[in-house]
Amino acid sequence: MVRITEDLVRRRAEHNNCEIFSLEEISLHQQEIEKLEYLDKWCRDLKILYLQNNLIPKIERKCSPLTVNLLTPIGHGENNTENVSKLKKLEYLNVALNNIERIENLEGCEELKKLDLTANFIGELSSVESLKHNIHLKELFLTGNPCTEFEGYRQFVVATLHQLQYLDSKEIERSERIKALQDYPEVKQKIREQEQVYLLKRAREKEEAERRMQEKKDKKQKQMESKLGFDSPDSPQERENHQAEGDGEQETCRTVEDDEEDRRFWEEPTPYTPESRLETHRYIEEKRRAKDNTRESKKSEKPPWTLVTAEGKVLNVNVPKLHFSLKDDEENNQFILELAVYRYLDTSLLDVDVQPTYIRVLVKGKPFQFVLPEEVKPDSSSAKRSQTTGHLAVTMPKAKEITLAKQKVSASVKHSDCDTLQKNARRSGKVEKLEVDPSKYSFPDVTKIIQEKERTGQGPIKLQPEKITEVKKSCVDFENDEDVPPLI
């Protein structure tokens, strides 16, 4: 049985900063509530109350003007009248889609203006007379109740509640009210007769529901007794072997039985009554709990993941089902493993373990394990996460390749040192000269000019006057002044 708690009320009072003393509106719909308590003490200023789609069978006086009680008869208990008068500011009450069969105990809600009783099981239409004391009541909804099928239903309600302005979302005209008041005695008599028929029908439905419930209880009891009385092997070893062999068969039989029971339950024709609605809710709740228990038992009984076989062979495992790539970086002699972990996953939920032959990463407790093609050095390995993608990159230097690389580097250094020493020795014994190919250059050979001069016996060649004459030729306006010395 779901009951109102202070924690539930506070969670539903988020719009009021979780303060319930000054709360004026609260929604408690679809909470499977069967009993209301303490609202008159916690929320005295309540004006709007939503209770639709619950399992409320009655509106009783005990504990509050809206308290539901399945055991205590109406009118029993102390200080009931005082509790009714505590929600005097309530203006709108919505109790649609519940199991209410009678309108009662709302006299203390002095400011009640709107009452919604849609899709309940109200068959005693005469119970609307209790709403005469709610002088501010303007709207009433009774659609979907058995009483709406009575002949003269609307006329009776209109004539009974003079303050009402709307019934089932339809405005009450003045002519309609006058006509209903004129025919009120006859209509009231018809309503009384139809109520008696309905009450007899409800009594039979209640007896049928009790009988069906008793049959189901007896059937379950027999099934439990048959299971407890099942002949089992005497020895514990035989009992364990029998249990291990029959686990699969029992699971299959249990699934088939559950499916068959579920099919029978939903295909069995039943009248739409408060008892059948409550039975349906109990059945759905029982199935849900059974599934939750099965799920929890499977989680607790789940065997650990096999990462290493009994022979010591390491297996490749990817339980979190993440994409990954292994890059062989030959230039740096290392392996780079990139694991596509979730972008917003906290790094504290990652555990990296690098071994010489494999790497293991725990992602939220789920192992990812990969066997490496070569041995690596775990001490020199490092793990980083990308700031953009959140992927995990693990760098693992190779053990073999690092050793060979050192030897090659040292050998190459030795050869280079020998070559430099030999070159320095050669340079110290002989002076190097620059060799030039004269055929590749176009400038005149000065050595030949000197040889030809010595051979012919001519005087030195004066290049400067020739340059001057060339300048003179090139300059058109040039005038030779003998007083001016020549330019050198």
pLDDT of residue 424: 58
SS3 354: strand
The pLDDT-based confidence of 17 (bands split at 50, 70, 90) is confident
Q: Strands, E, within 269-411: which ranges?
A: 317-318, 324-329, 334-339, 350-354, 358-363, 366-371, 382-385, 392-397
Instruction: Dump pLDDT digits (tens) for 364-374.
Output: 989 999 999 99
Say whether 34 sits in a helix, a strand or coil. Answer: strand
How far, in Å, CA of 306 to CA of 438, rounded?
A: 83
Q: Is the pLDDT of residue 350 over 80?
A: yes
Show Cβ contacts of residue 279 under 8 Å, excluding neighbours closer than 6 positions: 209, 213, 270
pLDDT given at position 422: 59
Question: Which range, of 79-88, 101-110, 388-397, averages the lowest pLDDT?
Answer: 79-88
Closest CA to 375 of 397, 351, 405, 353: 397
Q: How far is CA 429 from CA 187, 419, 423, in A?
A: 141, 16, 10
Residue type, 328: D
Q: What is the pLDDT of residues 185-244, one digit of tens each?
A: 999 999 999 999 999 999 999 998 888 888 888 888 887 777 665 444 444 555 555 554
**Cα 131–Cα 135–Cα 138 angle in degrees, nearest 5:** 85
Prediction pTM value:
0.56
C-alpha 217/C-alpha 210 separation (Å) is: 11
> Encoding tokens for residue 418?
């020998």
Query: What's the whole-number mean pLDDT along residues 69-97?
Result: 59
H or E, element range at 305:
none
**Cα–Cα distance, 226 to 344 (Å, whole number):** 53
Tokens of 223: 């099934």
Beta-carbon contacts of 90 under 8 Å, excluding residues fewer than 6 positions away, are 46, 47, 48, 49, 65, 109, 111, 112
Report the Cα–Cα distance between both ends of the chain, in Å, rounded: 126
What confidence category does residue 465 fall into, taking pLDDT thresholds of 50, 70 and 90? very low
Most trustworthy range by pLDDT among 56-65, 121-130, 278-287? 121-130
pLDDT at 432 over 50: yes
Residue 159 corresponds to which tokens in the numbers above? 């004539």
| Helices and strands (H and E) in the chain: how many | 11, 17
Spatial neighbors of 51 by CB under 8 A, at least 6 apart, are 28, 29, 33, 36, 66, 93, 94, 95, 98
In angstroms, the CA 413 to CA 263 distance is 85
pLDDT class of 444 with cuts at 50, 70, 90: low
List the beta strands (DSSP E) in 288-446: 317-318, 324-329, 334-339, 350-354, 358-363, 366-371, 382-385, 392-397
Residue 455 has pLDDT above 70, yes or no: no
Query: Are 124 and 199 spatial neighbours (Cβ–Cβ below 8 Å)?
Result: yes
pLDDT of residue 318: 92
- Decide: 89 and 165 in contact? Cβ < 8 Å: no
How far out from the chain centre does Cα 75 lie? 48
9 Cβ contact list (under 8 Å, min separation 6): 20, 23, 26, 28, 39, 42, 43
Bigger pLDDT: 162 or 261?
Answer: 162
pLDDT tens digits along 369-392: 999 999 999 999 999 999 889 999
